[in-house]
Structure 1
Amino acid sequence: MSSARIIVLRTGDAIPSVAEKCGQFFDYITRTVGDTWSYGWELVDVRLPDVDLPDPRSATGFIITGSPSSVTERAPWMLRTEEYVRRIAAAEVPLLGICFGHQLIGQALGGEVAKNPRGREIGTVRLEVSEGDPILEGQPRVFDVQATHSDSVVRLPPGARVLASTELEPNTIFSVGPYVRGVQHHPEMDDVVIRGYVEARYAIIESEGLDAGAILRNVRPTPENGRTLRNFVRNFCVARV
């Protein structure tokens, strides 16, 4: 019997200007989940060379954070974490990847990550559900989410199913088997955090030919966004306690 704890695998840090006001990815995750999970949390920084990666069966579930890094860098810590992802999947322990984590899962399980050929996706965007799943329980067919990424899972792992997409990201949410889910958007981020990301990357966005001002003006609250994360915790993790 695994202990009742969700292990968050830290793969990066929030940009400093946002972190100063809102905290780190782990804070966003636990804040969004709230009282949906009343058991333990553990944070493991997988970037550290001497990090102790727990036996997957010792946890109730895993969440992989976002990161400013790119899976395409193939850094040693990324390769080590990809192997760990394969161990978690083989152990049939619930696993959720967010943004970079979503891409890491895609790469680890046989897919491919590259620059999104449709360009950067950032700000508040419209998501459309294509297939029902416990991670989308109670969600409308179309709802707004927060996003910030320039890489994409351009080829899905074998056996993966697409559950939802956006205009710029056809593989926004995918599943691999009964326990592994990836979400390219950020269900842990609110409009305050995303507004900070757009402001911090304003010049980069403009240099890519996008209208950063319009993107910033379009950032708005997304009341359905966090439910995806809570659904993962409730339907995949609480269900195992």
Structure 2
Amino acid sequence: MEKIGCKRFGVLLCAEDSEYVIKMHGGYSGVFLKMLEEENETWDMYKVSCGEFPKDDELSLYDGFVITGSCNDAYGNEKWICDLVTLIKKLNSMQTKIIGVCFGHQVLGRALGGKVGRSPTGWDIGVRTITLSSHISFPSLDLPTKLSIIECHRDEIQELPAKAEVIARSDKTGIEMFKYGDHIMGIQGHPEYSKDILLFLIDRLIQRNFIKEAFAIGARERAHLLEPDTNAWKKLCTSFLKNGF
């Protein structure tokens, strides 16, 4: 099968949509499409957490993939997670562009040979400023050295895969972003999220007893201290997925 015509991308959905996100944003796929989709492109959605994957003979049709966040642990051994690790290895061997976000960032680290686990400092929920590495330049993007991003995670990459390089850090997390070759990039935060999604997730985490009300109050307060650099993240992610830097 040959790739013809417009560029084609796939979103690998690793979380179930909530009624709220469906109503307000068209589901998590809609959130990513709002950030990344441009004219003359085809975007396909695969609910990998439900076992829905692109076929091997279709992989060459794609210019790139995005791996979303998830409530699951990237170091878990559920069948779909193991199948996703296998898919990542195939795409890596093909030098296919991949961006991984939160869980996606972590499962990329796992698939490429790194180590993922619980953060020793616990949950990171809110809007956090991260610092881009000084030796990484994005000259065509005109980005500042510090960017604010929405965070909602308690796991992190603890050991970087061999040949990968850290391209952003924060006071909370040592590997906020990494790049592997010129075709794979992981982002621990959520460049695609808006604050309403963050506040919705805080409420859901309370309901599921993942966090306490006292922690949630602090998380909500932190969420109002900074605004995420949405436009800069859109520019960075779109450029990497479609052009590289």
Q: Please give the range of the TM-score, normalised by the shorter of the 2 chains.
A: 0.7 to 0.9
Q: Which amino acid aligns with 2:193?
A: M
User: In the alignment, is the contact (CA less than 8 A) between 2:130 and 2:148 conserved in 1?
Assistant: yes
Instruction: State, as a whole percentage, how many aligned pairs show the same letter.
Output: 21
Distance in 2 separating the partners of 1:78 and 1:49: 9
Distance in 1 separating the partners of 2:140 and 2:150: 16
Judging changes above 3 Å, is the alpha-carbon distance between structure 1 residues 235 and 115 closer, same or farther for their aligned structure 2 residues?
closer
Partner residue of 1:2? 3
Distance in 2 separating the partners of 1:225 and 1:45: 25
The alignment status of 1:104 with 2:110, answered yes or no, reads: no
Q: Secondary structure at the match of 2:24?
A: helix
Deviations 1:13-34 (A, max 9, x none): 2455444433422111111225
Q: 2:163 aligns with which of 147, 154, 159?
A: 159
Deviations 1:78-128 (A, max 9, x none): 111111101111111110001111111000000011111121111111111
The alignment status of 1:225 with 2:239, answered yes or no, reads: no
Distance in 2 separating the partners of 1:230 and 1:27: 18
Q: Secondary structure at the match of 1:80?
A: helix
Q: 2:150 aligns with which of 142, 146, 150?
A: 146
The alignment status of 1:122 with 2:121, answered yes or no, reads: no
Judging changes above 3 Å, is the alpha-carbon distance between structure 1 residues 23 and 147 closer, same or farther for their aligned structure 2 residues?
farther
User: In the alignment, is the contact (CA less than 8 A) between 2:105 and 2:188 conserved in 1?
Assistant: yes
Q: Secondary structure at the match of 2:131?
A: strand
Distance in 2 separating the partners of 1:147 and 1:110: 24
User: In the alignment, is the contact (CA less than 8 A) between 1:113 and 1:152 conserved in 2?
Assistant: yes
Partner residue of 1:197? 201
Q: Secondary structure at the match of 2:210?
A: helix
User: In the alignment, is the contact (CA less than 8 A) between 1:14 and 1:67 conserved in 2?
Assistant: no
Which consecutive unaligned segments of at least 5 residues does structure 2 have?
none
Judging changes above 3 Å, is the alpha-carbon distance between structure 1 residues 19 and 50 closer, same or farther for their aligned structure 2 residues?
closer
Q: Please, what is the CA RMSD of the aligned residues?
A: 2.4
The alignment status of 1:234 with 2:235, answered yes or no, reads: no
Partner residue of 2:212? 206
Which consecutive unaligned segments of at least 5 residues does structure 1 have?
none
Judging changes above 3 Å, is the alpha-carbon distance between structure 1 residues 216 and 223 closer, same or farther for their aligned structure 2 residues?
closer
Q: 2:42 aligns with which of 40, 55, 69?
A: 40
Partner residue of 2:80? 77
Q: Secondary structure at the match of 1:69?
A: coil
Partner residue of 1:53? 55
How much does 1:218 deviate? Answer: 2.4
Deviations 1:130-166 (A, max 9, x none): 1425599332111211010111111111111111112
Provide TM-score, normalisation by structure 1: 0.87
Q: Which amino acid aligns with 2:156?
A: S
Deviations 1:152-208 (A, max 9, x none): 11111111111111222110100011110000100000111112112322463337x
How much does 1:9 deviate? Answer: 0.7
Deviations 1:28-66 (A, max 9, x none): 11112254x541100012233464435332101110011
User: In the alignment, is the contact (CA less than 8 A) between 2:75 and 2:110 conserved in 1?
Assistant: no
User: In the alignment, is the contact (CA less than 8 A) between 2:36 and 2:237 conserved in 1?
Assistant: no
